[in-house]
Amino acid sequence: MVRAAILPAVGSPLEIAAIELPEPGPGQVRVRLAAAGVCHSDLSLSNGTMRLPAPAVLGHEGAGTVVSVGEDVTGYAPGDAVVLNWAPSCGVCHACSLGEVWLCADALAGAARVHARRPDGTELHPGLNVAAFAEETVVPARCLLPAPDGVPLTDAALLGCAVLTGYGAVRHSAKVREGETVAVFGVGGVGLATLQAARIAGAARIVAVDVSPEKEELARAAGATDYVVASDTTARAVRKLTGGHGVDVAVECVGRAVTIRTAWESTRRGGRTTVVGIGGKDQQVTFNALEIFHWGRTLSGCVYGNSDPAVDLPVLAGHIRAGRLDLSVLVTDRIGLDGIPAAFDNMLAGKGGRALVVF
């Protein structure tokens, strides 16, 4: 029996309770969690913005130590330090054949499997494949990546989503070049990682935008050169900071129609707007045909940072060891499992950066 954060049904409050976790079967690995980040995607699963089977154990950003392995598992052994990969690629679908592993058609197929049970026999699914909001989890071996040397496991947990997403948004999706100007909308965990990635890319000016004035210090610690409190005049304020032109790149980390539209309007003519935030289908963004022609901007979506975790994780580890990437800047709260509901409330209220469950 292990303790876990369970979503009984979409829209229901989380329950912290004991679950019965099976021993790993063929191709599976049991992992004892060291830490798990509380991501907005977990909140989106709990409120129905994203739809996956429930009841479920949530949590998808984590790191820990291998406890045991099932038959046919190679490459991992008890005692190995690992990072959870919530979106493993199958390697054979159309997207994977194109090298776009972040768009793998089968990445979330594992969310439909029975992961564990309540003591009364109720079946539980693994939220986003890996069920990281638990003291231990059992996952397919392909949901693991070797944890980088020299990075504490509690920090390495953040690499599994927030950092890969923010870094990838800058590196792979927006393709920020040295000397360019960047605006980042939303200073949560992913936004803070995006700010650091923009600084690493050599951006000349980095504007952070958020509804909360209290996040300015966090944003500047992550690399922001300027801070704008979101309002009806946000786009005008960003353009004013860039000589009236707008930024070369805007990265939206919120997932709301009004923020996406504002990010677009803050981008210069011919600039790039990348949307990282996951919004609901009711969030409709509108453009007219003339402005699309006139502004010549590029608007693109971004899934998991358009990253290949197996390739990008060692790169990120290099930045950490060199002191260019500071994971501690992302974490504003260290909590236990019991603190996850309050962390959800803080995200809804726009407070803080990343809450980290430390086991």
- 91/227 same-domain check: no
For residue 49, the model assigns a pLDDT of 84
Average pLDDT, integer, range 300-326 = 95
- 94/37 same-domain check: yes
- 135/39 same-domain check: yes
- 50/182 same-domain check: no
Q: How far is CA 238 from CA 162, 167, 234, 245, 254, in A?
A: 25, 22, 6, 9, 17
pTM score, whole prediction: 0.94
- 90/224 same-domain check: no
User: How many domains does the chain contain in total?
Assistant: 2
310 domain-assigned = no
311 domain-assigned = no
Residue 229's pLDDT band, with cuts at 50, 70 and 90, is very high
317 domain-assigned = no
CB atoms within 10 A of CB 99: 10
What amino acid is encoded at 98 in this protein? L
316 domain-assigned = no
Average pLDDT, integer, range 141-158 = 94
177 domain-assigned = yes
Q: Which of 163, 174, 346, 349 is nearest to 263 (CA)?
A: 174
Residue 270's pLDDT band, with cuts at 50, 70 and 90, is very high
- 155/11 same-domain check: yes
**Contact status, residue 222 vs residue 196, Cβ threshold 8 Å:** yes
- Residue 145's domain comprises 2-160+326-358
318 domain-assigned = no
Instruction: Determine the Cα–Cα distance for residues 149 and 116; give it in Å rounded to an integer.
Output: 31
Average pLDDT, integer, range 243-260 = 96
Tokens of 11: 């829209």
268 domain-assigned = yes
Task: Calculate Rg over the CA atoms of the chain.
Answer: 20
The CATH number given to whatever domain includes residue 20 is 3.90.180.10
Q: Which residues pair with 82 in a beta bridge?
A: 64, 146
- 69/178 same-domain check: no
- 61/102 same-domain check: yes
